[in-house]
Structure 1
Amino acid sequence: MIRFGIIGTNWITERFLAAAKLHPEFRLAAVYSRTEERAREFAQKHSIPHTYTDVEAMAASGEIDALYIASPNSFHAKQAITVMQHGVHVLCEKPIASNSRELGEMIEAAKRHGVLLMEAVKSTLMPGFAAVREHIGELGAIRRYVASFCQYSSRYDAYKAGEVLNAFRPEFSNGALMDIGIYCVYPAVVLFGKPNSVKASGFLLESGVDGEGSMILEYDGMDAVLFYSKITDSALPNEIQGEAGNIVIGKISEPVNVSLHYRDGRKTDLSRPVVEHSMFYELEEFIRLIKEDRTESEVNSLSVSAVVMDILDEVRRQIGLQFPADR
């Protein structure tokens, strides 16, 4: 059994725990919250034996082997480094950090203390994405990757009514790019590596974060065209275009429906069965790596996270989006 601690008592943690119940080697041992009341409330709901309001005390307790971090983005680096210094493995929600500087410090801490650090991007570890990686060679020369994740946020209604919730606050290193734009960028880097250049545009809200944006990543012989938004919806599918055919991905953040289309009209369904809770796959990968005494995923690798963060930094530079964490 791998004993897990949890930081974050929000909806994403609830989804993670629902997925974790499917894994026979997951054991929930501790929870951290800023207030004792909230920690106890969450612990009682999920039968968690230990509660903490101090991250370092939890890391030093000897009660956890690994930590799942789902706190606001601006807290990721400090919390991860704190626990890794005590030999605790870290599965950190995306985006793994506020910027490349923070991520560099996290990677250095992970290597210094010999622990596993992995960004919790579920999409690239799902069976459908594995099918994409296996069949992409059938497309011939790749010329374009197109990804769109535009999802109108209910929090935007609150924003327009005058209530600025965490999703639209720069002090938490939030906004459309960091929240959902990363789902478009991450698979591109896993599949194609570091781009030669980045061109970006975006719409900034008065709160200081972006509501939507787009970018073009230029590679040798191809480009990646990405759209993301928290203030509009889109029903566009996602596509990898090659000279011999194309792969269509229904939802870039959760690649379940995947199909391969050949130029001669043939079509192959690449969709694969998935478990009920799709966050299971990131947890499965993380636990497997711990059991194998490995400190890095081959898919959600630290080098992929570093390239993704460099891209996010450059996009933010071009559209004028700054966080307090950058200073």
Structure 2
Amino acid sequence: MIRMGTVGTNWITQQLVEALALSGQYELAGVYSRHQDTAEAFATKNHAQASYTNYEDMLTQAQLDVVYIASPNSLHFKQAMAAIDHDIDIVVEKPAFSNRQEMVAIQAALAQHPQVKFFEAARHVHTPNFHALEKALLGLPLIQGASLTYMKYSSRYDLVLDGEVPNVFSRQFSGGALQDLGVYPIYLAIALFGQPEHVQYYPTLIATGADGKGVAMLRYPGFDVTVSFGKTSNSTAISEIYGLKETIALDSAGELTHVEEHAASGVVQDLSAPDLANPMLPEVQDFARVLLAPDDPQNQADYQRWLQWSLTVNQVLYSLRVSANLRFPADEND
């Protein structure tokens, strides 16, 4: 069994913990929160072995194999570095780090601790539907572009309208639409098409100074990918990848719960796998596979592939922000 510790007690951590239980490959060894009542309540609800209000105590006392970090974006870096220093593997909620400077420092730390594994929790690129999408792309005679959309109204935006600054809409915490929802379609584009030649971001800023929604352009040799995302409105638009006469349609570039292939003949084929019991189950199973058998050649190849995706996504997110002059306090030394 893999001994997991968690940082953060919000809904995404709850979903992760439920996926761990479904996998049968992990035990919840520790729960960290800044507040004792929150830590204890989360630990009790999920049958964790211990709760902590001091992160260092969890790293030194809980005998962890891996820690899952789902704190506000700006806190990921220091918490990940501390775990690496203790030779503890890390799963960091996307986007893993605020900028390329932090990612470079993480790479250097990993080089000094070569046994430590770093995973970015981009759940959708581990799902059966993503694998079906990859296979369908191989059947296209060429790719002429894509339009990827992921736009969901956030209840936290109500707080912004009331004059507050929630973390997810705060530059101080490396928040905003690009970092929160935009990372999903950006991840999808990178995983499917690789690193773009040029990127440009057109954000719509809100009262907090963060981006509430926006459009990103990714330019590849021979085609462009348009990425639309936001947290201040809802979209019912599907996402599409364009072949010649063929089109692959996705219900959402973030959820990937439905995938269709529209053939040149007009025939529509549903490529979707059955609904998942938990959308995070495939990724925790993938991570467990690597953690339990790190020397397996296929596991090594998959790990390097996921790591390269994370590095490229980090670079692209940073370049998009630079193109829009959208800076975070975390960028001060960059």
Deviation at 1:252, TM superposition (A): 1.3
Q: Does 1:319 align with 2:324?
A: yes
Name the counterpart of 1:33. Answer: 33
Aligned to 2:139, the other structure's residue is in SS state helix
Name the counterpart of 2:4. Answer: 4
Cα distance in structure 2, aligned partners of 1:67 and 1:36: 19
CA displacement 1:44-94 (0-9 Å, x = unmatched): 222212222222222222521111111110011110111111111111100
Name the counterpart of 2:75. Answer: 75
Name the counterpart of 2:219. Answer: 218
Please say which of residues 191-200 and 294-303 is displaced more in the overlay. Answer: 294-303
AA in 2 matched with 1:56: E
Q: Does 1:306 align with 2:311?
A: yes
* CA RMSD, Structure 1 to Structure 2 (Å): 1.5
State whether residues 200 and 324 of structure 2, in contact with CA within 8 Å, keep that contact through their aligned partners in structure 1. Answer: no
Q: Does 1:123 align with 2:124?
A: yes
- Percent of aligned pairs with the same amino acid: 36
Q: Does 1:136 align with 2:133?
A: no
Cα distance in structure 2, aligned partners of 1:262 and 1:159: 44
Aligned to 2:22, the other structure's residue is in SS state coil
Cα distance in structure 2, aligned partners of 1:20 and 1:296: 23
Aligned to 1:227, the other structure's residue is in SS state strand
State whether residues 290 and 303 of structure 2, in contact with CA within 8 Å, keep that contact through their aligned partners in structure 1. Answer: no
Matched positions, count: 327
Q: Does 1:91 align with 2:75?
A: no
Name the counterpart of 1:259. Answer: 260
AA in 2 matched with 1:325: A
Name the counterpart of 1:235. Answer: 236
Please say which of residues 218-227 and 107-116 is displaced more in the overlay. Answer: 107-116
State whether residues 240 and 247 of structure 2, in contact with CA within 8 Å, keep that contact through their aligned partners in structure 1. Answer: yes
Q: Following superposition, which runs of at least 4 residues in structure 1 exceed 3 angstroms of deviation?
A: 294-300
Deviation at 1:220, TM superposition (A): 0.7
Q: Does 1:288 align with 2:286?
A: no
Aligned to 2:144, the other structure's residue is in SS state strand
AA in 2 matched with 1:118: F
State whether residues 140 and 244 of structure 1, in contact with CA within 8 Å, keep that contact through their aligned partners in structure 2. Answer: no
Please say which of residues 170-179 and 36-45 is displaced more in the overlay. Answer: 36-45
Aligned to 1:320, the other structure's residue is in SS state coil
Deviation at 1:27, TM superposition (A): 0.6
Cα distance in structure 2, aligned partners of 1:80 and 1:126: 25
Cα distance in structure 1, aligned partners of 2:275 and 2:282: 9
Deviation at 1:226, TM superposition (A): 0.5
Cα distance in structure 1, aligned partners of 2:80 and 2:6: 12
Deviation at 1:274, TM superposition (A): 3.3
Cα distance in structure 2, aligned partners of 1:135 and 1:67: 35
State whether residues 30 and 62 of structure 2, in contact with CA within 8 Å, keep that contact through their aligned partners in structure 1. Answer: no
CA displacement 1:257-288 (0-9 Å, x = unmatched): 11111112122211112322111111111111
Instruction: Give the TM-score taking structure 2 as reference length.
Output: 0.94
Listed as ranges, the gaps of 5+ residues in structure 1 are none
AA in 2 matched with 1:301: W
Deviation at 1:157, TM superposition (A): 1.2
State whether residues 156 and 231 of structure 1, in contact with CA within 8 Å, keep that contact through their aligned partners in structure 2. Answer: yes
State whether residues 245 and 260 of structure 1, in contact with CA within 8 Å, keep that contact through their aligned partners in structure 2. Answer: yes
Please say which of residues 216-225 and 61-70 is displaced more in the overlay. Answer: 61-70
Name the counterpart of 1:158. Answer: 159
Please say which of residues 295-304 and 42-51 is displaced more in the overlay. Answer: 295-304
